Amino acid sequence: MTGPRILAGKTLAADLQAGVAAEVRRMVAAGLRPPGLAVVLAGDDPASKVYVGSKVKACSEAGLNSRSAILPADVSEDEILGVLDDLNRQEDMDGILVQLPLPRHLDERRVLERVLPEKDVDGFHTINVGRLWLDQPGFAPATPSGVIELLKRSDVPLAGRRAVVVGRSPIVGKPMAALLLREHATVTICHSRTADLPAVTREADVLVVAIGRAGMIGPEHVQEGAVVIDVGVSRITDRAEVERLFPGDEGRLRTFESRGSVLTGDVDFHRVAPKASAITPVPGGVGLLTVAMLLVNTLKAARLRQGVASP
């Protein structure tokens, strides 16, 4: 018996970034300026710094201009809003990304709403959220957009299929459901108060999990032959938990011994994979697509702002 198809995002992410780079070269050759992306980071969260660094690096590799505004953790709300106002006025910056999470004293919604909708390449502004649910042109969040791209390019049928999304965050769960509806799937959203979660998720032809709880989804949650997309990322620091989630995986144990932790997703991969027809790993699955789709959105914003039709 063969195992499930592993839907790794690495190749697709590279293809998407190469496509953006090619379009940027064509824009520049036509006398247009390259797209520009500004990233705003408040505080010194190590993970956020890594994410910002990866976005800046990807911009450089694809030929985009990038700008970083690194602000202290105690930045006032008026100060960060002022930075965003300045970036809104800069003609060479087509996209503005506010790295989340923000320090707790800042009003996240107020800060995100300050970004002009036409520069909101993260798709978090209320106007873009509304456009997404009304099937109007706009920007959709990068991670769920990457999931849709992965499913399409992996020839996973969506029209008429039953899709279940576990998680209702405004960053992944809710936009994921909206994008699946656009593809004519029948969509159910589950969350912490869903009664008998396994009974609901077992109905899914396509199961997308984004709850941030390591290994929560086991084989009892999955029907035979389902496509399982794991968006969650958690860091495990307990050896017993590593041994439970990765039985016999010497590579993971060596990683744990050297680093003191390993990354895993919301899905108990080793126990769920035998039931799935296709599944994403963590790491190496959906996460790699987030930055790539951010570049795609920034290119789209640049073309719209410079009055250039999409190819």
Nearest to 99 by CA among 20, 183, 24, 42: 42
Look at residue 44 in the predicted model and tell me its pLDDT: 85
Q: How far apart are CA 260 and CA 279, in angstroms?
A: 26
Residue 311 — pLDDT band, cuts 50, 70, 90? low
Tokens linked to 6:
């592993």
Dist CA 242 CA 239 (whole Å)? 5
Preceding peptide of 144 cis, ω within 30°: no
Using a pLDDT cut of 90, give the percent of the chain over it. Answer: 85
Look at residue 83 and tell me whether its pLDDT is greater than 60: yes
**What are the pLDDT digits (tens) for 102-160?**
999 999 999 999 999 999 999 999 999 999 999 999 999 999 999 999 999 999 999 99
The catalytic position among 17, 55, 94, 205 is 55
Please choose, from the candidates 126, 177, 142, the residue with its C-alpha nearest in 3D space to the C-alpha of residue 287.
142
Structure confidence by residue, pLDDT tens digits, 22-62: 999 999 999 999 999 999 999 988 878 888 888 999 999 99
pLDDT tier at 248 (50, 70, 90 boundaries)?
confident
Rounded Cα gap, residues 82 and 73, in angstroms: 16
85: amino acid identity, one letter: D
* 74 is known as an active-site residue: no
Instruction: Give the rounded percent of residues in the chain with a pLDDT score beyond 70.
Output: 99
pLDDT value of position 48: 84
Kindly state the average pLDDT of the residues 267-283: 96
Catalytic residue among 120, 122, 230, 268: 122
Q: Which domains does the chain have, with CATH numbers?
A: 31-116 (3.40.50.10860), 142-289 (3.40.50.720)
136 is catalytic: no
| Non-local CB neighbours of 20 within 8 Å, separated by 6+ positions | 62, 64, 292, 295, 296, 299
Catalytic annotation present for 152: no
What is the spatial distance between Cα 124 and Cα 18, in angstroms, rounded to a whole number?
26
Whether residue 1 is predicted with pLDDT greater than 70 in this model: the reply is: no
Exactly one of 17, 94, 99, 119 is catalytic; name it: 99
> How much is the pLDDT for 49?
84
The per-residue pLDDT for range 183-236, each reduced to its tens digit, is 999 999 999 899 999 999 999 999 999 999 999 999 999 999 999 999 999 898
pTM reported for the whole predicted model: 0.94
Confirm if 112 and 124 have CB atoms less than 8 A apart. yes
Inter-residue contact 172 to 132 (CB < 8 Å): no
Q: What is the pLDDT of residue 94?
A: 98
> For residues 90 and 76, what is the distance between their CA atoms, to the nearest angstrom?
22
